[in-house]
Structure 1
């Protein structure tokens, strides 16, 4: 059975990222530093050839898709928007360190959520739905390699929820414009809701013999 490759990539840097703010649904564009870093990565590394680019609907992701894959069809994947941080949107950890609701959320499990926000469990459910939809489209349209531009928290929790080998999401840190290659086997996905984590992207020039 054919395998399908998805390249999960984090969006470029924003002003809110530089300030250390929680931004989930807040729609920040890339800043000048973020754009410059992505262009530098395009010069120094090799991004995979893909047949389509899926992206979170937020500006920081759609703008990253335009920079990294300017000649590819782009499709919005709402399932891969960032976690909704509720009342903590726009705040930094330093501002919230004495907030009891914040500390309860940080110390809680997958079902814990910020006030008026979203839990990691809810995030994993919608990302599962997104992977299922994209896999079906890849199979129906005979695509084998696609890129998915999303958010650091989405990448970390998706790898922890569905990835093999198993990883701790708190140990997964993805730099802007970087990410992971995953391989989905339809039978494994159907039976175990799992995919293989193959490595990191983008590639060094000497790693691209197969592309």
Structure 2
């Protein structure tokens, strides 16, 4: 199956002020624009088969700076969680709300007043990413790499699913602004290749082309879904 790079948008004015943006049309601040440009340099040269984006302004701005020559395809399934009446409020104020400990410790039961259940957000985001991954694999092959630009809680929920974690454990995962989380799905399990990666070379995430080997009764190649016993030699192609 293909490899998806989950990119969180750069820092926004709401992030900087300590507010919960939700689905408001907040913009990147100066730091966020610098982060977007920096991640663009990291993505340069990667053969991206597709670029998918949450329709919210901060994600579109991130990609316009990171990949200015690419027209992303908008995907409602990876839009930010609908935080309802929490939207736009300061996080320090929300921390006093009775719902706060539920969001922190039992998010699968959290439903935002006038908004969305966290379980609903997780389900539609995972479904959207898996649907896109199947489509891109079918069209471009299992060595394809593609990118989806989304939001912190959305990316954490997708990563939790890939790790086989219950949604109640997704708060253990971190997705900083402009970070990359890389997942490769296979027939029997996903592999989380990077998590909250904010620096370094991304070229190693491009799978090497398949190597054709002569048939042998003794040598049996590991299946795509098999884990490398002992840790393996690392992904990607050697320089």
Q: Same fold (TM over 0.5)?
A: yes
Distance across 2 between alignment mates of 1:80 and 1:110: 18
Please tell me whether the aligned partners of residues 165 and 196 of structure 1 are also in contact (alpha carbons under 8 angstroms). Answer: no
Gaps of 5+ in 1: 189-193
Distance across 1 between alignment mates of 2:51 and 2:39: 18
Alignment partner, residue 151 of structure 1: 151
TM value normalised by structure 1: 0.83
SS for the counterpart of 1:114 is: coil
Task: Rate the CA distance shift 1:206–1:180 in 2: closer, same or farther, 3 A.
Answer: closer
Alignment of 1:1-211 (within 5 A): 3-43=1-41, 45-46=42-43, 48-142=46-140, 144-160=144-160, 162-164=161-163, 166=165, 168-185=169-186, 187-188=187-188, 194-200=189-195, 201=197, 204-205=200-201, 208=204, 210=237
TM value normalised by structure 2: 0.74
SS for the counterpart of 2:124 is: helix
Deviations 1:108-164 (A, max 9, x none): 44022121121221012101320232023213422511000000111111111x213
Select the structure with the greater relative contact order (CA < 8 A; seq sep ≥ 6). 1
Gaps of 5+ in 2: 205-235
SS for the counterpart of 1:90 is: coil
Distance across 1 between alignment mates of 2:3 and 2:52: 13
Higher-Rg structure is: 2
Cα deviation for residue 98 of structure 1 reads: 3.2
Alignment partner, residue 191 of structure 1: none
Task: Rate the CA distance shift 1:139–1:206 in 2: closer, same or farther, 3 A.
Answer: closer
Alignment partner, residue 210 of structure 2: none
